[in-house]
A and B are shown apart, each in its own frame.
Chain A
């Protein structure tokens, strides 16, 4: 049995608003063939477990992994689907390796947001009797969370816009991103209001794409790569489904998931230990809220930090040097993309968005409206 799990390969499609040229399987295969080439591994012999990550309602198919078992190497073999954010696929894959059952696991997350309507899809996440008939979606719920967060901690609209400015600027150096540029706070605030206080540029855009990652036991990892990235800690936690059961300005589930991950990694003070964080900024304010939940700053202090430049690529604790979800990453794929970006940083392969000397990275993903489910991974080289 192995007691350490490594990430030995990552591959991503170029993210795009729409990929009408490929179906799910072909899009997934772009990343799977790339990550196999990169690691010099072959299906079926070298991979003993496969986990895909997507959502039936996004895919428009029941148990939607049934249609991609061929590309992921699950034909007449083991393949399971993680219907949470892609970060949790890493958690699930690692558990299989730590159990001793598997030694090398292929993970792949995919979503084509262009093929349906996010507002309708997300409405189906709400309780059919209690809140669905309001027409609620993730954006309207996020607007309530943003308002509550701003009110409780005095976070300003300009501080939230600063997240968009920073992430789109970072995304200029990310070849996978499809939304990037040098913009100003005024540009963010003059983009159309979608659900006050949230403007168009505060929302991660509709995106198609896939990410593949290979996990291996310590023994296998050493024969596959000379640059393994170790999974040092991991934790997950669920908060209440009903928004009314939560204080949306705090994120208890994230705090719990982070505590578990830090404890496993032996990290006492994440502010000192972490060299960078990749977090799920599905909406711009969430980057600030998740930083607080991750304990990367005091509650209510994230706004000041982003304004000070501390979370920029050259800052004390860079957050989303990739450009984050605001630069265009599909829902569900987001967490595996956080992990892939953290891995590139820890291997020193992040190009112009490289955080110098990165040794410890935190990757966070979430599922459900207002971050109901949280997953935190600590990675190190």
Chain B
């Protein structure tokens, strides 16, 4: 008897779990500063003096509690970048970012850590370079909501 080839069954399913993440006391202070005053604060380890962004309760290296706040400049230096060709999704809105676009890693003046965000530059290797100076551009104050999207992107500083 001929064996009939079975069509394999698979079931489509979207696993959708809603979350509401508490920012915690350190990031809350930082995000409120960004939203209300357009400032960016990091924490400095009392022992190794690393200036950490995002601000957090413990210095991982020294395992001491971070208590000193340091205001960072809004300008910094590009440490790494990529030109993205995938329409990656913003999970807070469910909307994709339009490729091609540029992700960059910026070390803000005064910080040990870096901040990853969009770089408002043409996605062209001739126009981007490591070491490029950048400036953080915020949403207009009235439109800020207290999350990382209050930072729109970094603009390259000419020169």
Residues of A within 8 A of B (CB): 19-23, 25-26, 29, 33, 42-44, 57, 60, 69-71, 73, 75-76, 112, 114-117, 120-121, 124, 128-129, 132-133
Chain B residues contacting A69 (CB-CB under 8 Å) are 60
User: Assuming the A-B contacts A26-B57, A29-B58, A73-B63, are A129 and B11 also in contact, with contact meaning beta carbons closer than 8 angstroms in the complex?
Assistant: yes
Do residues A75 and B11 form an inter-chain contact, with CB atoms below 8 A? no
Which residue of B has the minimal Cβ distance to A117? B18
Chain B residues contacting A117 (CB-CB under 8 Å) are 17-18
Chain B residues contacting A22 (CB-CB under 8 Å) are 22, 24-25
Do residues A121 and B58 form an inter-chain contact, with CB atoms below 8 A? no
Do residues B24 and A70 form an inter-chain contact, with CB atoms below 8 A? no
Which listed residue (A19, A43, A76, A129) contacts B22, Cβ 8 A? A19
Which residue of B has the minimal Cβ distance to A129? B11
Do residues B18 and A25 form an inter-chain contact, with CB atoms below 8 A? no
- Tell me, rounded to whole Å, the shortest Cβ–Cβ distance linking A202 to chain B: 25
- Tell me, rounded to whole Å, the shortest Cβ–Cβ distance linking A194 to chain B: 20
The interface residues of chain B, by DSSP majority, are classed as loop
- Tell me, rounded to whole Å, the shortest Cβ–Cβ distance linking A180 to chain B: 25
Cβ contacts B53-67/A at 8 Å (1 or 0 each): 000111111010100
- Tell me, rounded to whole Å, the shortest Cβ–Cβ distance linking B128 to chain A: 29
Chain A residues contacting B56 (CB-CB under 8 Å) are 25, 70
- Tell me, rounded to whole Å, the shortest Cβ–Cβ distance linking A370 to chain B: 22
Chain A residues contacting B88 (CB-CB under 8 Å) are none
User: Assuming the A-B contacts A124-B15, A132-B13, are A60 and B21 also in contact, with contact meaning beta carbons closer than 8 angstroms in the complex?
Assistant: yes
Which residue of B has the minimal Cβ distance to A70? B60
Chain A residues contacting B59 (CB-CB under 8 Å) are 70
Chain B residues contacting A21 (CB-CB under 8 Å) are 22, 24-25
Chain A residues contacting B80 (CB-CB under 8 Å) are none
Cβ contacts B103-127/A at 8 Å (1 or 0 each): 0000000000000000000000000
Given A25-B24, A129-B9, 6 other A-B contacts at CB below 8 A? A21-B22, A23-B22, A26-B26, A70-B60, A115-B19, A117-B17
- Tell me, rounded to whole Å, the shortest Cβ–Cβ distance linking A352 to chain B: 32
Residues of B within 8 A of A (CB): 9, 11, 13, 15-27, 56-61, 63, 65
CA gap between A220 and B49 in the complex, in Å: 33
Chain B residues contacting A76 (CB-CB under 8 Å) are 61
Chain A residues contacting B25 (CB-CB under 8 Å) are 21-22, 26
Do residues A71 and B58 form an inter-chain contact, with CB atoms below 8 A? yes
CA gap between A236 and B63 in the complex, in Å: 34
Which listed residue (B17, B20, B26) contacts A124, Cβ 8 A? B17
CA gap between A42 and B24 in the complex, in Å: 24
Do residues A115 and B20 form an inter-chain contact, with CB atoms below 8 A? yes
CA gap between A23 and B63 in the complex, in Å: 18
Do residues B17 and A43 form an inter-chain contact, with CB atoms below 8 A? no
Do residues B13 and A44 form an inter-chain contact, with CB atoms below 8 A? no
Do residues A23 and B58 form an inter-chain contact, with CB atoms below 8 A? no
CA gap between A42 and B63 in the complex, in Å: 9
CA gap between A25 and B11 in the complex, in Å: 37
Which residue of B has the minimal Cβ distance to A121? B17
CA gap between A4 and B37 in the complex, in Å: 57
Which residue of B has the minimal Cβ distance to A124? B15
User: Assuming the A-B contacts A29-B57, A71-B58, A73-B63, are A23 and B23 also in contact, with contact meaning beta carbons closer than 8 angstroms in the complex?
Assistant: yes
CA gap between A161 and B23 in the complex, in Å: 39
- Tell me, rounded to whole Å, the shortest Cβ–Cβ distance linking A149 to chain B: 30
Which residue of A has the minimal Cβ distance to B13? A128
Do residues B58 and A116 form an inter-chain contact, with CB atoms below 8 A? no
A to B CB contacts below 8 Å, 23 in the list: A22-B24, A22-B25, A23-B22, A26-B26, A26-B57, A29-B58, A33-B65, A44-B63, A70-B63, A71-B58, A75-B60, A76-B61, A112-B22, A115-B20, A115-B22, A116-B17, A116-B20, A117-B17, A117-B18, A124-B17, A129-B11, A132-B13, A133-B13
